[in-house]
Amino acid sequence: MAVHGLESEPVGSFPSSGIDVLVVGTGLAGLTAAIECIRKGHNVRVLERAATINTLGDMYFMGLPATRFFKHWPEMKAEYDSIGLHNAWIQTFRHSGEEIVKPLYVNERLKAAGLDPKTPPGTFQLRPLIYKMFVKQVERLGIKIEFNTRVVDYFEEGGKGGCVTQEGKRYEADVVIAADGVGSKSQRLVGGQVRAVSSGRAMWRAAFPIENLDKDPEVKEHYKMVTKNEGGEREPIVRTFLGPGTYAMTLTRPDTMIWIINHNATGSSAENWSNTIEPKEVLDTMDEGVGPNPWAPMMKRLIACTPEKTIVNFELLWRDPQPSWKSPNGRVVQIGDAAHSFLPASGNGATQAIEDAVSIASCLQLCGGKDNITEAVEAHIRFRFIRNACAQKVGFSNAELLQDTDWNKVKFDPRRAQPKHPKWVWEHDPEVYTYENYSKNVEAMKKGIRFDECDVPPNFPRGYKFEPWSIEKIMEDMRQGKSIDLGPGNWD
């Protein structure tokens, strides 16, 4: 029998399942769940607290596993190819401005770091463009998003899941997918609430129209794109900066300039994508804690060009893996950041959110219908839990690597200037994996065999056995100068 997910199967390929799905939240998790559930034959409604399409944010890394399902969505695939970063360059500097690694194609840097340039583990994407691309697809399918609908609570009763809005309106469905991000209101029902711990770090991040650089022609010249050939064709470039206690990156695209700087959390940082500060605050404090050499003047002048109400001071909070992602009978299930939060530096927040969505839509199709939703949700969580906990840990390890980079060594080993993108993360295809392994997974589940002890091949580091771990322990190790102990198995 053909395995679903290998070939393109557009909408209409699957018969109706009769399962009513309610999706809460229109981040990447919620939007992917909505379109994939439609494609798999489920009925879908979507709720969102924001008043309208929210195109805030700058960029995120989209790993390969999060883009494999585009084969089913020709319009999205075409748009993704047109908005993506093609032939991007990357160059690395000390924070004080000296070049450490000359401009190379990203692919060449991957090769230098021992990765196969033909399969880059993913690409940086502009959130506003990606978000609009998904919303357009949802609209093409005729799915109505009910904006201005803030969910305040979730419930499960009589074989249904449901939620209640701020206005007291109740919604019910066979299964509710809580994709309402960090701090999901479903945490009380699923018993998954974990404490958010400050990492002590934050990021200043800004994305704005490139015309703002006209204010300072030397800045415009300094951060220009790469001119490829005599024809004058220009290509985007990522510039990374490493210093003691800080790292930063800029991205220059034809229309957009982006910069991001990691720094110690301040009173004005918050875990909130609308929390903006003005350039003066950054300029006044950025040289603290970077050692004897201040930031390069060109970085300061770039910051000075940033328009008002644009710089987000985003605080990085850490959370232990959540113990549970579902209500007792599985009628409410969390996906994406609602289930597991990632540090932006992990390069996994967007990727794992999309993988979750593809997985839950597939499991609900595979279970055969309404009667088996509990089974589908439990099987989905077994597929996803250990993989996510491992990806979260890699995120901490990457953050540590970047923050503590000994920038005198970087010249000799570009690998240290590059976060880890392990093979077990980017090789995965969440749809094919689910179709090939669902029945084996369910069989083992019914026998009470742990996922990491059953005969389904792992989608996490081979050889790893899950043991609960905590941020407290990791932080303690860091304080003692120990590097993060990832655990047994092949993490590369």
Ligand X SMILES: *[C@@H]1O[C@H](CO)[C@@H](O)[C@H](O)[C@H]1NC(C)=O
Q: What is the DSSP string of 63-83?
A: EGGGTGGGGG-HHHHHHHHHH
Give the span between the Cα atoms of 36 and 393, in whole angstroms: 28
Give the span between the Cα atoms of 259 and 261, in whole angstroms: 7
Shortest Cβ 479–ligand X spacing (Å)? 9
Task: Return the one option of ligand FAD, ligand X, none that residue 368 interacts with (CB less than 5 to 8 A, by type).
Answer: ligand X
Give the span between the Cα atoms of 465 and 488, in whole angstroms: 7
Give the span between the Cα atoms of 300 and 96, in whole angstroms: 11
Residue from 71, 111, 150, 370 in contact with ligand FAD (CB under 6 A): 150
Nearer to ligand X, 77 or 370 (CB): 370
Say what angle helices 127-140 and 74-83 make with each other, to 10 degrees.
Answer: 160
Nearer to ligand X, 89 or 460 (CB): 460
The reply to whether 60 sits near ligand FAD by the rule CB under 6 A is yes
Task: Return the one option of ligand X, ligand FAD, none that residue 440 interacts with (CB less than 5 to 8 A, by type).
Answer: ligand X
Nearby residues of 183 by Cβ (< 8 Å), 6 or more positions away: none
What is the x/- site pattern for ligand FAD, positions 297-336, by CB under 6 A?
---------------------------------------x
Q: Token match 């309402």: residue?
A: 180
Identify which of 171, 164, 126 has the alpha carbon closest to the alpha carbon of residue 28: 126
Give the span between the Cα atoms of 55 and 266, in whole angstroms: 26
Q: Which tokens belong to 363? A: 């499991």
The reply to whether 329 sits near ligand X by the rule CB under 6 A is no
Phi and psi at 53, nearest 5°, equal: -60, 125
What is the x/- site pattern for ligand FAD, positions 337-356, by CB under 6 A?
xx-----x----xx--x---
Per the CB < 8 A criterion, the answer to whether 92 and 410 are in contact is yes
Task: Return the one option of ligand FAD, ligand X, none that residue 26 interacts with (CB less than 5 to 8 A, by type).
Answer: ligand FAD
Task: Return the one option of ligand FAD, ligand X, none that residue 353 interacts with (CB less than 5 to 8 A, by type).
Answer: ligand FAD
Shortest Cβ 272–ligand X spacing (Å)? 4
Edge-to-edge strand list for the sheet holding 43-47: 145-146, 43-47, 20-24, 175-178, 332-334
**Residue 198 forms beta bridges with which residues?**
317
For residue 43, how many other CB atoms are within 10 A of its CB? 16
Q: Token match 């179709």: residue?
A: 435
Nearer to ligand FAD, 50 or 277 (CB): 50
Residue from 10, 159, 209, 457 in contact with ligand X (CB under 6 A): 457
Task: Return the one option of ligand X, ligand FAD, none that residue 159 interacts with (CB less than 5 to 8 A, by type).
Answer: none
What is the x/- site pattern for ligand FAD, positions 13-32, by CB under 6 A?
-----------xxxxxxx--
Residue type, 81: D
Per the CB < 8 A criterion, the answer to whether 324 and 278 are in contact is no
Which residues 241-260 are close enough to bind ligand X by CB under 6 A? 245
Catalytic residue among 49, 109, 201, 205: 205
What is the x/- site pattern for ligand X, positions 289-328, by CB under 6 A?
x---------------------------------------
**Residue 201 forms beta bridges with which residues?**
264
Shortest Cβ 210–ligand FAD spacing (Å)? 17
Catalytic, 188? Answer no
Residue from 39, 40, 127, 160 in contact with ligand FAD (CB under 6 A): 127
Nearer to ligand FAD, 166 or 483 (CB): 166
Per the CB < 8 A criterion, the answer to whether 103 and 93 are in contact is no
Residue from 75, 157, 288, 476 in contact with ligand X (CB under 6 A): 288
Chain centroid, CA 124 distance in Å: 11
Shortest Cβ 166–ligand FAD spacing (Å)? 8
Give the span between the Cα atoms of 90 and 104, in whole angstroms: 6
Shortest Cβ 379–ligand FAD spacing (Å)? 21
Residues catalogued as catalytic: 205
* Contacting positions for ligand X (CB under 6 A): 200, 245, 264, 272, 274-275, 288-289, 368-369, 371-372, 375, 432-433, 436-437, 440, 455-457
